[in-house]
Chain A
Amino acid sequence: MNYKNLENQLEQFRRIHPRAEFSRESKSLILATPRILTTSSYVSPSWSTRIQYGLSSLVRVGSFVGIGLSILIISLYATHELSPVLFPGLSPQSITAEAEMLNSNMNIELSRLGYFDTASQESNSALKQLSQKQFNHLNDTIINSEVTELQKVTATPSDETTQINTLIQQLSN
């Protein structure tokens, strides 16, 4: 096999063709797809077209900017000037007064909370003491009663002690 023969054989592949149905469908699908326009796809527009396009673009951009600025100015005017009239609740004086009232209410609530906290701590400790019997010997009332009992006992000698003392005196005499 020489090169010429090989080239001739390769040329036979030229007879491969796509299916007609595929070609038709693919073509119609592609041409129905919207094109992505790039800058180079414009065919050199004339100067008048460019000026017209530039002017119309300027007018469009200008009108957008104008509308935006108007909305901004109107909203600022409404906030600063008309709000005390249309929305009295939005005036600085009323807002300050409302804030102060809220602040004082909050202080009262906080002091009440502090009182409840102290009271609950004290009652807790008292309850704890009462519930713990092993600390009874430290209770002031119990200690005082015991002291009184002891004094009574020591102040009045018993009958046995008197009899013993009498016997001792007799013996000594």
Chain B
Amino acid sequence: MVDDRLTDEHEILKKAIAGESSAFGSLYDIYQPLLYRFIYLRVSHREEAEDLTHQVFLSAWQNIGSFQEQGLPISSWLYQIARNRVIDYYRTKHVSISLDTETEDIHPSLDDIADSLETKIQLEHIRTALRSLHPDQQDIIIMRFVEGLSNAEVAAALKKHEGTVRVLQHRALRTLKKQLEKRHEHEL
């Protein structure tokens, strides 16, 4: 089943590289929600996330011809573009989002995904803790546990060794857990 999906995706990819817009449209349908989610969790602003996601896929469409040469999974290649866009976003706009603004921005999406107020508060705490991590650690946590990418895919997207990814992932989870426990104790 998985093999069939991969074969189909490989065929779609070949057609997209050859310039078939409908094939690229299929890739867009598969990966756009993932990339949007990744960018949204990194920038915490819906309009900015939409704008950046659009830029990522526009760049991918215009440069997909050079994709073959790199020998990466398509997901890793797209995440590489997305990471670069996010880095540029923070570099050029000198964004310093206050905690209040961040909470306001994230509310609508959390309303959609949280079943209860308690879940929503918990997700807000996780989100805040996640944002306090180093950008590389944020990327790893989002790609591994939110997006469900393999260590190999994450390593390819971050241009790091798998071992390094595992170490960074462990450190990030530990920091995240500590922060959440600390916050929980503070609230009690």
Report if A and B associate in a common complex: yes
On A, residues with C-beta under 8 Å from B are 1, 3, 6-7, 9-19, 22-23, 26-27, 29-31, 33, 35-41, 43
Please, which residue of chain B has its CB at the minimum distance from the CB of A41?
B65
Measured CB to CB, the residues of B under 8 A from A are 14, 17-19, 21, 24-25, 28-29, 32-33, 36-37, 40-41, 46, 49-50, 53-54, 57-58, 61-69, 109, 112-114, 119, 122-123, 126, 141-142, 145-148, 173, 176-177, 180-181, 184
Using Cβ atoms and an 8 Å threshold, which residues of chain A touch B17?
40-41, 43
Residue of B50, B68, B122, B142 touching A22 (CB-CB under 8 A): B50
Chain A facing B: main interface SS: helix
**Whole-angstrom distance from the CB of B111 to the nearest CB of chain A?**
11
Q: In the assembled complex, which residues on chain A have CB atoms less than 8 Å from the CB atom of B184?
A: 1
Interface secondary structure of B, over-half rule: helix
Pull 13 A–B residue pairs with CB atoms less than 8 Å apart, ordered by A: A6-B173, A13-B146, A16-B37, A16-B41, A17-B33, A17-B112, A18-B50, A22-B50, A26-B57, A30-B57, A36-B65, A37-B19, A43-B17
Residues of B within 8 A of A27 (CB): 25, 28-29, 32, 57
Instruction: Name A17's closest neighbour in chain B (CB-CB).
Output: B33
Contact assessment for B177 and A12 in the assembled complex, using a CB-CB cutoff below 8 Å:
no
Give the nearest-CB partner of B67 in chain A: A40
Knowing A13-B41, A43-B18 are in contact, say whether A23-B32 is a contact too (CB < 8 A): yes
For B147, what are the chain A residues with a Cβ–Cβ distance below 8 Å?
A: 14
How distant is B119 from chain A, measured CB to nearest CB, in Å?
Answer: 7
Of the candidates B62, B68, B148, which one forms a contact with A33 in the assembled complex, judged by CB atoms under 8 Å apart? B62
Further pairs besides A29-B54, A35-B61: 13, Cβ < 8 Å: A1-B180, A1-B184, A7-B145, A10-B141, A11-B146, A13-B113, A14-B37, A15-B113, A18-B32, A19-B46, A26-B57, A37-B19, A41-B17
Q: Which residues of A contact B68 (CB under 8 A)?
A: 40
Q: How far is the CA of A9 from the CA of B129 in the complex (A)?
A: 13
| Cα distance, A78 to B173, chains bound together (Å) | 84
> Chain A residues near B58 (CB, 8 Å)?
29-30, 33
Q: In the complex, what distance in Å separates the CA atom of A55 from the CA atom of B32?
A: 43
Shortest distance between the CB of A94 and any CB in chain B (Å): 62
Within 8 Å CB of B123, what residues of A?
9, 12-13
Closest 9 CB pairs of A and B: A41-B65, A38-B65, A15-B113, A10-B145, A18-B36, A26-B54, A31-B21, A13-B146, A36-B62
Bound together, the chains give a CA A13 to CA B142 distance in angstroms of 9
CB distance A36 to B63 under 8 Å? yes
Taking CB atoms, residues of chain A closer than 8 Å to B46 are 19
